Amino acid sequence: MLRGFQGNLRCREMPMPGVLMCDTFAIGSACTRGGESIFGKNSDREPDEAQIVVSIPGRKHTRGETMMCTYSSIPQVASTRALVLSKPFWLWGAEMGVNEKGVVIGNEALFTRIKPEKAPGLIGMDLLRLGLERADTAHEAAHVIIDLLRRYGQAGPCGYTDKGFQYMNSYLIMDRSDIIVLETMGRDYVLTHPKDYAAISNGITTKTAGVSSSFAPDVRVDALADPLITRFAGSAARRQQNLEQLERRRGSFTVTDAFAMLRSHRGRHPLTGFNQDVCMHAAGPLIRKSQTTGSMVVALDADDGFKIFVTAGSCPCLTPFKPFLPACPPGGVAAAGPRYAEDSYWWRHEAFHIDAVLRYRGLCSAMAGEVSEMEERYCQGLPFYRFDTRDASLAELSSEAFTRASMNETAWTENMRGIKKDLRVLHNAFWVRMARRRGVPLAGKRVGVRDSVPG
């Protein structure tokens, strides 16, 4: 049961076991300034696990066709919806995504007393993608997941390097008029309909089974949690932070507030809380093992319009959210593998990210201003658009945002040759090992360059 806590301090290509953590929230149209529904999620994974953003077209399928998920095959349906997914590069499934009908889903790992089945089946990220592919509403997506769960269960390795790491899953599902929280344990589930907003993390939020559940009405669902791992994950504190922010900004909430929530830290700087930062920074193989490797915000208006924003890289406090058009994805965001590659947007950003976290105290204020300026320029005035739009001006805006972000990171990387690293010996050694084992180039020290942040 405690397999995930056996830390590995060696720098060889070996598993880095640990608790994978995420945070997801949604707020309905009655509580936002512009009357749109807004979804946000940070995907916290192993720190050197590349995450890609892919746009997948809708398709028609032939009778009797099967499809391969991450570990198992299931029958295909007659048609699947077009999707945008943010996903670990090696998985079929996804951490978060939105479909052409305006259904948005994010999942969270749940650590429970109910353990996975022995034979691999569907994992939580497979179920998330299947819900998006096969549903037109949040209600339909929830029941797609429930039905598949009953038929195939949930089991299989969920970690990238740690193939013994498995977990149950909860889902936050949103469309233009509904928010659903679906918590699953084994082949059982509990479904709730929060009225105005919801936030989930890595803990069970429902105390009793209630009326929409496969459990008996008197079952204490929260008692099924694994208390040690759930507490270690810090999920209660992170969820509470998000709920407080949603309540505080009820009636005036905007996508800018969603960005701010996803890049928030418990203290002034990361690493000051015990796994309690929504913007999660990995610091070593024993305690802080998860890293925010991708982030997404989606806004839906009442007229079938979309606004989709992604970071396409680690650490939202060090990179802007950028507008993403499903029909015109920018180059490199769908490309990644196990090692650094220049044609991968995620890996190019990762080279900057590692250099930056080694010098975080000297960079965070300057980077915050630059990130804010970028989002004001490319995100705040963005109009709602159709999922399949190819509007030239919007496509150019999106492409420019990604290009400008990369150019800024290249300039900062060059300047970081003269910026002193923070005095965090173990943290810095950890990230240098991460860079070496994945072939990530880091900035060298140049003699004669002043130790200050460029203006």
Active site residues: 22
What are 204's two structure tokens? 């069970």
User: How far apart, in Å, are the Cα atoms of 310 and each of 84, 119, 285?
Assistant: 10, 35, 27
List CB contacts of 223: < 8 A, sequence separation 6 or more: none
Strand 59-60 to 197-200 pairing: unpaired
User: How far apart are alpha carbons 52 and 137 in whole angstroms?
Assistant: 25
User: Is the alpha carbon torsion for 162, 70, 206, 86 positive or negative?
Assistant: positive
DSSP-derived 3-state class of residue 197: strand
What are 96's two structure tokens? 């978060």
Tell me which residue of 5, 7, 11 sits closest to 429, measured CA to CA.
11
CA 248, distance to chain mean position in Å, is 23
DSSP-derived 3-state class of residue 182: strand
> Could you give the angle at the alpha carbon of 319 between the alpha carbons of 295 and 389, nearest 5°?
60
User: Is the alpha carbon torsion for 388, 311, 268, 372 positive or negative?
Assistant: negative
> Could you give the angle at the alpha carbon of 291 between the alpha carbons of 285 and 296, nearest 5°?
165
User: How far apart, in Å, are the Cα atoms of 413 and each of 224, 351, 391?
Assistant: 47, 8, 33
User: How far apart are alpha carbons 370 and 381 in whole angstroms?
Assistant: 17
User: How far apart are alpha carbons 54 and 159 in whole angstroms?
Assistant: 20
Strand 96-99 to 179-185 pairing: unpaired
Concatenated DSSP letters of 430-446: HHHHHHHHHT---PPPP
Strand 168-174 to 188-192 pairing: unpaired
Concatenated DSSP letters of 130-158: HHHHH-SSHHHHHHHHHHHHHHH-B-S--
User: How far apart are alpha carbons 288 and 232 in whole angstroms?
Assistant: 10
Give pairs for 64-71: CB < 8 Å, separation 24+: 68/92, 69/93, 69/122, 69/123, 69/126, 69/130, 70/122, 70/123, 70/125, 70/126, 70/156, 71/120, 71/121, 71/122, 71/123, 71/156, 71/157
